[in-house]
Amino acid sequence: MYWKSRVKAIGIGIVILAVGLLRIRGGTQVVIHWTGQPMFSFGLIAAGLVVIATSLMPERLLLKWTAITKSKRSHVPIR
């Protein structure tokens, strides 16, 4: 089951990457999003590469990088 989610993530990354590349090839650098914010074609390419890279990484490496460690000093509320 685990490998199916990785294959789906790679497919989604390839689709996002292809949309970004097709926009740049068509000469579109920036598109105004439906919320009024600019959406850059290079951002789509970068997002696609990040999705592909994280789906190809070993699970133990992702868990190591995203682990939340408890600090040595505990949080003391101010009274």
Query: In the chain, what are the domain boundaries?
Result: 2-66
Contact call for residues 46 and 4 (beta carbons, < 8 A): no
The span from the CA of 18 to the CA of 7, in Å, is 16
Query: Which pLDDT does position 64 carry in this prediction?
Result: 85
The span from the CA of 77 to the CA of 46, in Å, is 41
* Percent of the chain predicted with pLDDT > 70: 85
Average pLDDT, the chain: 85
**For residue 46, what are the contacts with CB-CB under 8 A and spacing of at least 6?**
none
Predicted TM-score (pTM) of the model is 0.72
Query: Which pLDDT does position 63 carry in this prediction?
Result: 83
**For residue 56, what are the contacts with CB-CB under 8 A and spacing of at least 6?**
6, 10
pLDDT tens profile 33-61: 888 888 888 999 999 999 999 999 988 88
